Amino acid sequence: MRSSQDEGLAAGSAAASEPQAVVELRVHGVGGTAPATLLGTTAFRQVWGDRLAGFYAAEVTRRNRSLEAYCWGGLTSRSNFRVLWVLLFPFMLANLAGWTCSARTHADRWAFAAHRACGRLAALAVTLNLMLIVSTVVVDTWAYQFGGYEKPLPSDEPRWKSVAHALAHQEQPGRRVAIGVGVVVAILLGLALLSYRAHNRYEQVTPIGTDGREQARSSSAALPDGVADPRFFDGAATVRRLLRLHVSAGLAWLALLVAYAIRDQRFQVMAAVALGAAIVLVACEAAGEHLVTPLAATALALTVATASSAWHGSAFRGPLRGHLPGLRVAAIVTFGLLCALIFVRLLVMPLIALLRALGIRDGAASGAVEQPSRRWPGAPFVVAALSMLSANVVGWGCLLAAASSLGSLRWSADTVTGDSEIQIVVFETLRGVIPWLTFAPVGLILTFLLVELARWGLAGGRADRDSIVAWYAGRSDADPPPRPPWDAWRSSALPTEDLPPVGRKRATRWVRSIARARKLARLPADARYLFTGLALIAGLALIAVLIDSLNRSSSEATVTFAVTVAVMIPAGGLALLRWGWHRPDARRWMGVLWDVGTFWPRAYHPFAPPCYAERAVPDLQRRVRWLQDSGCQVLVVGHSQGSVLAAVALAQLGALRPGCDRPVLVTFGSPLTTLYGWAFPAYINGNLFDRLHGPRAGEPLRSWRNFSYKTDYIGGPIGRDEVDVLLPDPSTAWYVTGEPMPSMRRHTGYWSDEAMWQRIDEQVTAPGTGVPPPASPGPVSEEPWISPGRSRSPTAGHDGCADV
């Protein structure tokens, strides 16, 4: 790391100066958490890092342990302008699709190689889809049609409209096309620049242990040890290669579009060859590296040459109305190419399986492959289709918004009249596809929510209530009654026969709320049905556009309403996200998908948002290693997404430092299995858990405990009996008469669960660690108004740490 960070390490040595001192290193979850909140004190100092991500040490000790916090929220959500990264959401999904590989595919050498190639091709389809949408908006709608309006704009038109017309207005159509091409090239190069700067700002950290190691020729997705390989989060070479290839393909496609419009067959052939070469190189993981840069330069030169030919040429003759000549044919051919890039997986993967079944090829797994408890068949295709759906819904919505803003919307050039008003023609096919891209997804989402709402309402029936009552009744011995006279104030929240009707009804509602919370906690797993349905809609719409078979006889009111919805989706979605970014609860829900999506390296799409783990994982490894070298016993405490960072960092660290003093890992609210093991079973699976805490010598951890609640809607058990600890939520069925009944902690209440921290104390002070037991956190309250598991402060949690 940089020398300033090395100085920061030295500044933090005071907390770790005594041998066998225990340092509790806390790693927060999604949404970001302030150091004071995570440490539970305002007396702290920064000992490592910068304003994006850093380590903070508390000035006081807790439970005989020094406290440190790793705050990495600045990598994902601290800046208000970071919400604009949502514009890259389709690229994030395209990158994510490649990582949703099944464990069986990963174990098959041929199938895994084909999966990665198909994932990169599907990601390239999103880039080409973007080029089609942007070119239609900029080159056709703005430059060619709006810029071709010859009369001066009326004086009552907005000033921005006059400026937009002045920038594009040229008497010769070819010059208007060249101006639009320049803007499209600027947009594409702007995305490339954003990707490059994001790497320098958020990902340019050298992983520990890569010095002296041979750099992997293939991407991190192909490494045999997966996330446990120290080179996994070193994706600079892959991003650089994919960035140049995607830019090459985009520029070659744009050059081909302009060459077809100006009827220059020589440029058409050269641009088609360049586009084909880019597609082939994208399919190859590392081959042809020496061709990547020359191909990018060639594609750029072809784009400049075709634009120059359009500027100086005279291919456009006569009074032209409607679309840019050849645009409709180009759109149909492009959609055919997109279908080929997306659906090639459905042909290649079954063919490989057939060859394996016939015994023609080898390379498959020799033994049984561990499968997740909840499988998601076809996840790579589903996520890739979702990326296409999101890009087209927003993109064509922007096209309709631009056309409606610049002039009067027309569905065909035949309907253009000689009136003085500006008339903008859009694809007639959109008249049939826009209702599908708006009403069908919205209707499916509403149906899914209604079904889940009905299931949630039905939860808490007699069978569910009886099981919860029996479970809490069996724990009565774990809650000894208080000494007199406080025993008269204790009441049970369970419905019993001796309760009056009002009290029994209240107790029944309490038990039903627990059952419904447990049902709600299973909602993320049910989302796979929604995603599959949306992917089906996207695939059908794409095929229908290709064969031009959608019904265009919809009523004008239906089409108008669909267009209005399509126009509102981009602006409304951005406003909604901007609103939710300022609210912790809403940001936590949005942050789950965002932090999961940006955890993975950009091995499939270079325009995806930066991978924060390429910075966070090496940071954690360096800090843990420095504390160990300083003679400290390290206790790593990870909540939610922080548990994933901690587990991956320690798995890699164990491979780098065998035989060193091993840290203790505590995770709670962890999505390692509930989200990552379900969606990414090829990388987060039992092999990783065994590497961390398995029946073999040299495991990197002294011990590992994973705490979870059944009411947690994000985290859960990992599936290892020796690691998992299921905690009750609520922690007890007893409460003080007249006070509210025990509340549920769900995903955010772990920090204030005293029973969990007592188990952590036992874990740290296990025999053989040489660590003294912690000091008592304070006298146990005998006041009846302090319910078990509740803090005096409504905002404070464990040792003053708020729920995060």
With contact defined as beta carbons under 8 Å apart, do 664 and 84 qualify?
A: no
**Lookup: tokens for 323:** 């679309």
Count of Cβ atoms closer than 10 Å to residue 740 Cβ: 11
DSSP 767: T
Asked whether the predicted pLDDT for residue 279 surpasses 70, the reply is: yes
CA dist 641 to 28, 73, 416, 612, 788, Å?
Answer: 7, 11, 55, 12, 28
pLDDT at 778: 40
The model's pLDDT over 439-480, given as tens digits with 9 standing for 90+, comes to 888 888 899 999 988 888 888 777 878 888 887 876 655 566
Cα–Cα distance between 302 and 310 in angstroms, integer?
12
Q: Where are any strands of DSSP class E within 580-736?
A: 633-639, 664-668, 703-708, 724-726, 734-736
Pairing of strands 423-425, 54-62: unpaired
pLDDT at 779: 38
| Nearest alpha-carbon partner for 184 in 138, 253, 128 | 138
pTM across the whole model: 0.84
Asked whether the predicted pLDDT for residue 194 surpasses 80, the reply is: yes
pLDDT at 478: 53
pLDDT at 341: 93
Query: Is the sign of the CA dihedral 88, 90, 93, 98 positive or negative?
Result: negative
Asked whether the predicted pLDDT for residue 185 surpasses 70, the reply is: yes
Phi/psi at 67 (nearest 5 deg)?
-110, 135
DSSP 750: G
Mean pLDDT of 760-789: 53
Bond from prior residue into 482 cis (ω within 30 degrees of 0)? no
Distance between alpha carbon 578 and the CA centroid of its chain, in Å? Answer: 17
With contact defined as beta carbons under 8 Å apart, do 299 and 273 qualify?
A: no
pLDDT at 15: 46
The model's pLDDT over 223-252, given as tens digits with 9 standing for 90+, comes to 888 898 888 988 888 899 999 999 999 999
**Lookup: tokens for 67:** 């406290």
Residue, of 317 and 203, whose pLDDT is higher:
203
Spatial neighbors of 325 by CB under 8 A, at least 6 apart, are 261, 316
Domains and CATH numbers, the chain: 3-30+33-71+612-800 (3.40.50), 82-393 (no CATH), 456-525 (no CATH)
Count of Cβ atoms closer than 10 Å to residue 161 Cβ: 16
Cα–Cα distance between 95 and 791 in angstroms, integer?
43
| Nearest alpha-carbon partner for 19 in 665, 505, 631, 520 | 631
Asked whether the predicted pLDDT for residue 222 surpasses 60, the reply is: yes
DSSP 322: S
Query: Is the sign of the CA dihedral 284, 286, 291, 293 positive or negative?
Result: positive
Number of residues written out for the chain = 804
Asked whether the predicted pLDDT for residue 258 surpasses 70, the reply is: yes
The model's pLDDT over 600-610, given as tens digits with 9 standing for 90+, comes to 999 999 999 88
pLDDT at 13: 46
